[in-house]
Amino acid sequence: MKQILVHHRFGLIILLLAVDSLFFGLTSPQKVASWLLVVGVLLFLTSLYYFLLAGLTVARWYGLPTGKRPRRLAKVLVGTTGFLVALQSIGELSSRDVLVLLPLGVIVYLYSYRAIWRSQPSA
């Protein structure tokens, strides 16, 4: 447990939680400028990325298969979530968008995995 508390990602996650709490607690989406909405979405996606990485690391500690490159999986999940949040924020998210973007995220992950696998020299 002590190793977790001194790890640099743990400190970053605590910092992100504090910044998220301050930013989202002190701002109202109806009253802020549009550029602050973009900052909020970027802050949300950054936090989500590091929380997903932490979750995948914990899952690996418990023996669950997370793949060889959990960062790629986290990036694809955050990218897909980012598109969904962006569509929701402009009022254009529908169930068809979700049905298209989720399989598209899976395809992007599988193609990126295949591209890395094929570029490695065989032994």
Torsion angles phi and psi, residue 32, rounded to 5: -95, 165
Task: Identify which of 72, 67, 75, 76 has the alpha carbon closest to the alpha carbon of residue 103.
Answer: 76
Q: Tokens representing 106? A: 């899976």
Please give the DSSP secondary-structure letter assigned to residue 57: H
> Which run of H or E residues covers position 22?
helix 8-26
Helices 70-89 and 95-119 sit at what angle, rounded to 10 degrees? 160
46, 5 Cβ separation under 8 angstroms: no
Q: What is the pLDDT of residue 2?
A: 53
Q: State pTM to two decimals.
A: 0.74
Total domains in the fold of the chain: 1
What is the per-residue pLDDT across 79-121, written as a single tens digit (0 to 9) for each? 888 888 888 877 888 999 889 888 888 888 888 766 665 666 6
Q: Tokens representing 81? A: 């979530």
What is the per-residue pLDDT across 27-80, written as a single tens digit (0 to 9) for each? 887 888 888 888 888 999 999 999 888 888 888 878 777 777 788 888 888 988
User: Domain of 112?
Assistant: 2-119
